[in-house]
Amino acid sequence: MARKHKNNSNLLNDYHLLSFDALDSTNEEAKRLARNGGSNGAVIWAKRQTEGKGRMGRAWVSSEGNLFVSVLLQPEKPLPELCQLSFVAAVAAIEALEALLSDPTHLKCKWPNDILLGDRKLGGILLESFRDGNEKSWVVVGLGINVDSFPPRTEFPATCLKDAGVELVSAKIILSRFIHHFIERYNEWNIKGFAPVRKRWTQSAWGMEQRLCARLPEGNIEGIAQGIDADGSLLLKLDNGKRQQVHAGDVFPVEAVGA
């Protein structure tokens, strides 16, 4: 399980898989690995998580049969660019899944870090950066995909591949496909920057040219979604005609927020 490249230290030259029957969290295990001398390209996969988590400290229901994986990385990029890895992972996930569906156009990237199937959440990405005891910078890219089951009564409706009619596909198969595409997209990002990833993400983006509500710490704002800018911020066209950058938050259809 390796990809060989030459003359570019930023490239992910290889990766190695560490598999577990159960972990508290694959992201937490990746951080422990880094602090104990772990290497760039480690892939941590657990069949089950006991304390899975999503963005903003939310719990991530982690039933066996679904995919829970984290990739440990040391990209040689400026800190503000590291958030782009969420989009790298989203594109890789879409590319890993689209060949499994009769109509791959139903797969969508929802800003900032979700994978949708139709209008239901199929998976999510959690990006975490930190420094180890030697002041080395690390990034963990965590991915969860609902393969066999999904949690009920979620704020944004969820689904899984099995309910979509995708059969005879395991979390292990999805893992292999995702890592293959992630390495390709990660190396492309290192060489060519964010532009190719941004273009591919936009092709599968959910809610573009639709009226969305962005839920922010300081309050909600509404506008027409018009893509993402060069740093990954969502662009909303407000009622006054101005464009608003949304750097972090959650977005929902306006009718869902008002319900």
Q: Chain-wide mean pLDDT for the chain?
A: 87
pLDDT of residue 80: 85
Mean pLDDT computed over 185-204: 95
Answer yes or no: pTM beyond 0.85.
yes
pLDDT tens, residue by residue, 67-83: 999 999 999 888 889 99
Q: Among the listed ranges 47-61, 88-102, 233-247, which one has the minimum average pLDDT value? A: 47-61
Task: Please classify residue 14 by burial: count the beta carbons closer than 10 Å to its beta carbon, then call 0-12 exposed, 13-18 middle and 19+ buried.
Answer: middle
Residue recorded with tokens 């591949």 = 161
Residue 211, H or E segment: strand 211-216
The pLDDT tens digits for 108-165 are: 999 999 999 988 999 999 999 988 777 788 999 999 999 999 988 777 889 999 998 8
Q: Is the pLDDT of residue 259 over 80?
A: no
Report, as an integer, the average pLDDT of 248-257: 79
Q: Which of 48, 256, 51 is nearest to 171 (CA)?
A: 48
Q: Is the predicted pLDDT of residue 6 greater than 50, yes or no?
A: no
Closest CA to 175 of 44, 13, 28: 44
Percent with pLDDT over 70 in the chain? 89
Backbone angles phi, psi at 13, to 5 degrees: -75, -30
Domains of the chain: 16-203 (3.30.930.10), 211-258 (2.30.30.100)
